[in-house]
Every structure is written in C-alpha cells, then in structure tokens.
Amino acid sequence: MEGLMLGMAGAALAAALAGTGSAIGTGIAGQAGSGVVAEDPEKFGRLLLLQALPGTQGIYGIVGLFLVIGLLGDLGMGAMTVGQGWQVLFACLPLAITGLTSGIAQGKVAGAACGLVAKRPDEMGKGMIFAIVVETYAVLGLLGTILLLGNIT
Amino acid sequence: MAVSRMKRIQILAHDSTRNDVVAALRNEGVLHVTSPSIELEAIGDGETRRKREREIASELGKLEYVRNFLKPYYVPSKKGMEKMFNPKFLLDEEELRATVDSFSTEARYQSCVALEGRMRSAEAEIVRKTALATEVAHWADAGVDVDAMVDTRLTRIAPLTVEAGEFEKFRTSLEEAVPDSEFLEVSRSGATVYLVIMYLKEMESDVALILKRHSARWADLSGAAGEPKAAAERLLDEATGLSGDIESMKEEATELALDYETILLVHDDVAERLAKESVQESFGSTGATFVVEGWMRSRDEERVRERLDTITTAIGGSHDSPDASPIHMATRDPEPGEDVPVDLNNSGMVSPFEFVTTLYSRPVYWENDPTPLLAPFFIIFFGLCVSDGGYGITLALVALWLMSKMPHGGARQFMKLLLMGGISTTVVGLITGGWFGIDPNVMPAFIQNAIVLNPLQEPMKMLNVVFIIGIVQVFTGLAIKMIVDFKAKRWLDAILDQLLWIVFLSFLVPLGYDFILGGYVPPGIAAIAGRGAQICGVLVILTGARKNANPVMKLLGGVLKLYDIVGYFGDVLSYARLLALGLATGAIAMAINGIAEMAMEIPVAGPIGAVLILIAGHLFNLAVNCLGGFVHSARLQYLEYFAKFFTGGGHVFQPFASARRYSEVRRQES
C-alpha cells in the first residue's frame, strides 16, 4: 500500500501545485483586468481572455492526475511497489513545480498585458504572446511528467 | 509575394472641383492620404474650411448627445440574431439623402435639451419635496401651522433642531443667558430633538452664540404651509404627481426616439462630412488650387483616374488636353527604402491567416508577406493541439453556421480560419483516434482502422513526429531566408549563414536522434553524419564571424557561433508542446466522460446530470483547447519560424474611406 500512497501523493502534488499556480496567476491578471474594466467596460471580453491564460497550468495538473490514475489502473490498485511509487512521485514533480512557478509568472505577464490592452487595444495579440512564452515551461513540465510516467518500471 | 503593389499618387486640381474630388476619393476608398511632398505657398489660410469643420463637429456633438439621451427609449427594429450579426441599416444614396435632408439636428437637439432639463428639474423637485415632507412631519405635534411659525414685530418664533446629546446643556445655557425665551420640545427622532423656539429679537446675538456652541440648527420649512401633518402629506402627493409628470415626459422621449434609426443614419452622414473636411488638413493649397498626395494600390489606379475624369467631363472640361482639365493626376512607383503603407492581398484560402501575421507584425513594403508560408504550418499545428475528431467537426459546424450569418468583414475571415482549423482537427482526430475522449477500443471498426498513431498509447512515437514537423519548419525558415538572400544577391550570407547550417543541422539530426532520444541509427549513417557534422562545424568556426574586423574575434566569434546549435535544438524542442497540448485534450475529455459516468450512478437525476456534464464539459474543453491551440500555434510561427527570415514592422494601409457605424450605403452602378 505504501507504493500506492506515494503514487497518490505525486498525483495530488501535480494537481494541487499546478492548480495553485493557476489560481494565483489568474488572480493577478484578474485584478489588473478589473482596473481596466473600471475605465472601459467594453474591453471585458479581451481581458477575460488574458485572465484565462494562466489558467491552463491547473488544467495540466489535472491531466497529470488523470494520467497517474490511469497508471494505477493499469498496474492494478495496490499492486504498486514502493519503488514504483517513488518513481511516480518524482515523475510528477516537473509538472507540479513548473505549474506552480509558471502560473504565477504568467499571471504577472498577463496582468501587465491588461495594461497594454488599456492603452493600445490593438496590440493585445502581442501581450498574449508574451504570456504564452512563459507557458512554454509549463507545457515542457507536463511533457516531462508524461515521458517519465511512460518510463515507470 | 502578397503585399499589394503601391503607387504614389498626386492629384493637383482647381478649387472648384474640391468637393467633388474629396467625395469621389471617399467613395472609392482607395487612397491612403499623407501630407504633400511639395510646399505650396498658401494664399488665404484654411480658416473658412476650419470654421466649417468646427460647425460640422459641433453638429456631430449635438447628434451624439441626442443619440445618448434617446438611446434608453429606443425600441430596436432589429432583434436578437439579426441585430447581432447584421446590425447595419442598408439603404441607397437617394433614400439616405431624403432621410438626412428631412431631419433637423438643431430642432431635435433643442427639444431633447428642453425635455432633459424638465426631467432633471422634476427629479430634483421630487427629492426636495420628499425631504421637506420628512422634515415637516417632525413638527406634527407642535400644534401650530407651519406658516404660523413666523416672527412677530418683537419676537422670533422658529423651528429648530438640536442634537439629543447637547440638548440638556443647550437648555441650561439658554435659560441662564436668555431668560426671556421659551421653547417647545415637539418630538425626538434618533439623536435629534425637534423644537420651536421663541425669544425677543433684541437677544438675537446671545441666542446665536448658544446655538452655535451647542450645534443647534435652524430648520428650513419654507415651501410648506398649514398644519404640519397635512403639509407633509400634501408635499408627498405633489412628489407623486411629479413622478407621474416624469412618466409622461418619458413618453415624450419615447415619441422623440421613434425615428432613432434616422438619428443614427444622420449621425453617420455628419461623421462622413466631418471626415471629408478633416482630411483636407493634409491637403496643400493655394488660393485657387489644391493638392492631395498619398498611396494607393497599383490596381486601383485606373479606377481613380476614370472617376476623376468623370468629374472633369461633368464640368465641361476635357481630360485629353491638360490645359482644359481642372484635375491633374500623377503617379509614380515607390522609391527603394521609402516608407510605404502595407496592404496584404492573399487568395481566399490564405487571406484568413493574415490575421495571424498581423497579430505579430505587418511586413514592411519591401519584404515578402509570410502569410502563405505560415498558413499550412499553422493549420496543421492547430489540428495537432486540439486533436479530436468530435471537437473538430463541432468547431467546423459552429464556424460554418456563424459564417452563414455574417455576410462579410473581419469576423467572417476569423470564422473561416476556425473552419479550416476544425477540418484540420478532424483529420488529426481521425488518424490519432481521438473522438470526444472515448476509448478507441469500443469504437466501430472503421474508426479503429483509421488510426495511424495513438499518442495516448505511444507518446514517444508521437514526440518524434512533432519533432520532425518542427525540424521541417525550422529548415523551411532557413531555406526561405536563403532564397531571400540569394534574390538580394547576398551570395555569401545565403551560402554560409543558411545553406551551410541546413547541411550542418541535417547531419546533426540523426546524431541527436541517437544520443538524445536514444533511437536506433544504422552505424553507417551515424558515421557519415558524424564526419559531416565535424566538417561543417569547422567551416562554421572559420566563417561564422567573418564580418568581425578583429582577426582574433573572427575565430573566437566563429566558435561562439557554434553555440547556435543550442538555439536550434531549443527551437525543435519547443514543438513538443504540440504533443503535450494534444494529450491534454484527450486526457481532459476522458476525465469529463469519467465524471459523467460517475454521475450516472445517482438515482433519478443521474442521466440528466450526466448529459449536462458531458455537454458543458466538452464545450469547455473545446473552448480552452481552441484558445490554447491558437496561441501556441501562433507562437511557434513567431518565435521559431519568423525569427529565421522575417522582420516586419510595416504600417497599415488605411485608405480614406467611408466608415459608417450604423448604416451601409449601396454602391450605385453608374
């Protein structure tokens, strides 16, 4: 059972930390967005899009969680050895840590992009691109986790 | 490739044709007006014109006021879908003229101002009367009429309020300082005591001092009369009456808003007139002539010429002899390096992708438009990111439906992009077996047979596929730059910076596959690749920093140039996002199905809940993945692809053209 516990801990970390990153990130962007909407309510749609950008880390976290659950299903519940459990736990770390940090960082960039939209609404695309560059590392973290989970022995 | 060819145009004409020329240019809408390159010595300033411009601007201001005032009372004739997709009113020139001429802005403005004034004062009156009624009611038990609380020859009799906390001190001070005074405590409400005070007028200054010390205030009951209770009721009745008046004023406003749509049309018309005046700020003029300069697309040249000729003919001139023509038009090609506005012109399939290009930057005029070069990559990437046949079909159908509602415009182009994205997604879904996250093993045989590669089962294989796609795009970018350099006769750059690297990287690919991904490469190929890479590496070291003047730096810079390998490696790695986003779609879809399955077990409400979860969940997943698919596909174009060959920074071609907000005038075929 210890193996299962460790595996679960990994899945929980992935979902919880990446979700926290998204929560903080969307929070930062949302605050900036509200400030802009106070001046110009018509920009709401675009700002909502910007606020949603740091939300993907949380989704990636859930993806990681489901991948681990799938793995547990493949191995048979409780059949996971302690060694395998540690492997799963470590495999989840790239997603968990990059999700947390990139979510926060991306939130800051998206928040700044809200200011960009306030002054130059036509340049919103560029603001999005800045935010997406940060997300690269969450995507790579997810990828790392997927690849590591695929190599559990 | 697809940057429209431009021409510099100069129109020099007699002032009598000014309005006709401006109207013609506005209607054709093909001229990007700039300031003239020649200095004309202005005879007579533009003051008359500026005055006219100010008048029109003031009329526009009045119309905007009328529009904003009447908007809440307007009942739109277009409803729901039609209003959303087709908000403009379509009419032809004569209809428009007739409508506009029969409308008097000034009259409507005056009636709106008057009506709003009456409404505001009635509202203020209601507030005043209600407040007074509340105040008067506090003296209901005074036993005297409100208007009886007035001074006599020698005494002052007046209503007064004191704070309850100060009341005792107030009473003692008053009794001590002004014994010949009397007051009647009428009522208490909250922290306030309401009373009536009487004293000899000669004591005025003493009383005033006490009132001030104990923060007592005179109550102003002017406007009320008779017995206090009745007075309060009467005031409230009057307020109710005024509310009724406001209702009928609102009806008047509704009446005024009946032709609200006409107001919108007139607004458009006046805005057009204003634009036609304002643009003349960029004209050069002498007393009798004026000059307009700007850019237009080469293909529009004949149209403009013909249009101007019709003006010439209409006033009896002839365009055959320059002496008899009041309008002279000259064009020339742009000079190299000149700052020319950029208009993108692509075929129907490619034009929706202009949106992706311009999101980054427009090409400068002298550069190729990268839109056709990114279109195929972008659409494949989008499909890989969303990667579900069910989502693809849904997206394509939604886009088609919205397109059928939108006759034209930028939104329609975007829908076209989504339609293509939907088709691409469907194809990817078909070959990867993604259908709403359903396990392929329970799907019909023909769907199972269509699966080429299931990324959920073989992520490593899929990773190799997206890396290959990435390598193809990076190489394409380098090849494009090479062609550009060749065309510009920068032979050495083309060969040493691009061709050499393409060869070098080609050798590195099998080595990377072997060492980094741990794939199998036949020893023969590995040996050739290794030797090739060594030779290319040496060549890069020798030539990489050839432009550096310092001989030591020439070699050192070459070694540093070798470091670019890491950059290319990072570029290719970046394409891994295509796999990750694709997997994410499938994993979330499966999770939604799993949750719906759990919901099924709830008695009675289960099936309904499950259906709701499925619909809402998959729509959410579709939306999130479309957003992600779009931005990540775009990012790969900008950072991994454009960086190889595209600089951009061109400014947009903005022709002087009709910009009606509410209406659309049918073009008349003459």
Give this complex's ipTM: 0.72
DSSP state of B661: S
Q: Do B581 and A139 touch (CB under 8 A)?
A: yes
- Contact residues, chain A, for B638 at CB < 8 Å: 129
Q: Does B581 touch chain A (CB under 8 A)?
A: yes
Q: What is the pLDDT of residue B324?
A: 66
Q: What is the pLDDT of residue A41?
A: 79
Written as one letter, the residue type at A21 is: G
Q: What is the pLDDT of residue B433?
A: 85
CB-based burial of residue B452 (10 Å sphere; 0-12 exposed, 13-18 middle, 19+ buried)?
exposed
Q: What is the pLDDT of residue B670?
A: 43
Q: Do B573 and A140 touch (CB under 8 A)?
A: yes
- Extents of the domains making up chain B: 132-238, 345-386+388-454+585-646, 455-574
Q: Which residue of B has its CA nearest to A50?
A: B627
Q: For residue B588, what pLDDT band results from cuts at 50, 70 and 90?
A: confident
Residues B282-299 have a mean pLDDT of 85
Q: Which residue of A has its CA nearest to B591?
A: A66
Q: What is the pLDDT of residue B84?
A: 66
Q: For residue A63, what pLDDT band results from cuts at 50, 70 and 90?
A: confident
Judge whether residue B297 has pLDDT over 60.
Answer: yes
Average pLDDT over chain B reads: 85
Residues B358-380 have a mean pLDDT of 88
Query: Could you tell me the sign of the dihedral formed by the alpha carbons of B437, B443, B447, B451, in that order?
Result: positive
Q: What is the pLDDT of residue B285?
A: 79
Cβ neighbours around B191 below 10 Å, total = 11
User: How is residue B394 written in tokens?
Assistant: 């849904």
Q: Which residue of A has its CA nearest to B574?
A: A136
| Chain A residues with CB within 8 Å of chain B CB | 49, 52-53, 55-56, 59-60, 62-63, 66-67, 125-126, 128-129, 132-133, 135-136, 139-140, 142-143, 146-147, 150
Q: What is the pLDDT of residue A78?
A: 65
Judge whether residue B174 has pLDDT over 70.
Answer: yes
- Contact residues, chain B, for A63 at CB < 8 Å: 583-584, 587-588, 591
Judge whether residue B42 has pLDDT over 70.
Answer: no
Q: Phi/psi at B457 (nearest 5 deg)?
A: -90, -35
The alpha-carbon radius of gyration of chain A (Å, integer) is: 18
Q: Do A66 and B591 touch (CB under 8 A)?
A: yes
Residues B211-221 have a mean pLDDT of 85
- Contact residues, chain B, for A140 at CB < 8 Å: 573, 576-577, 580
Top residue of A50, A134, A143 to mutate, by most chain B CBs within 10 Å, is A143
Q: Which residue of A has its CA nearest to B455?
A: A146
Collapsing DSSP to helix, strand or coil, B161 comes out as strand
Top residue of B387, B572, B577 to mutate, by most chain A CBs within 10 Å, is B577
Q: Does B643 touch chain A (CB under 8 A)?
A: no
Beta bridge partners of B295: B8, B32
The CATH classification number of B132-238 equals 3.30.70.2750
- For A23-53, the pLDDT digits (tens) are 999 999 999 999 998 888 778 877 887 888 8
- For B491-516, the pLDDT digits (tens) are 888 888 889 999 998 888 888 877 77
Judge whether residue B407 has pLDDT over 90.
Answer: no
- For B434-449, the pLDDT digits (tens) are 888 888 888 888 878 8
- For B47-98, the pLDDT digits (tens) are 788 888 899 999 999 999 999 999 889 888 777 666 666 677 787 878 888 8
What residues contact B127, with CB distance under 8 A and at least 6 apart?
none
Determine the structural domain holding residue A98 and report its residue range: 2-150
How many CA atoms lie less than 13 Å away from B547 in the CB half-sphere? 5
Q: Do A143 and B591 touch (CB under 8 A)?
A: no
User: How is residue B205 written in tokens?
Assistant: 């200054």
- Contact residues, chain A, for B414 at CB < 8 Å: none
Q: Residue A96 sits in a domain of what CATH number?
A: 1.20.120.610
Q: What is the pLDDT of residue B569?
A: 83
Query: Could you tell me the sign of the dihedral formed by the alpha carbons of B547, B550, B555, B556, in that order?
Result: negative
Q: Give the total residue count for chain A.
A: 153
Q: Does B631 touch chain A (CB under 8 A)?
A: yes
Q: Do B631 and A132 touch (CB under 8 A)?
A: yes
- For B124-141, the pLDDT digits (tens) are 999 999 999 988 888 888
Per the structure, the count of domains in chain A is 1
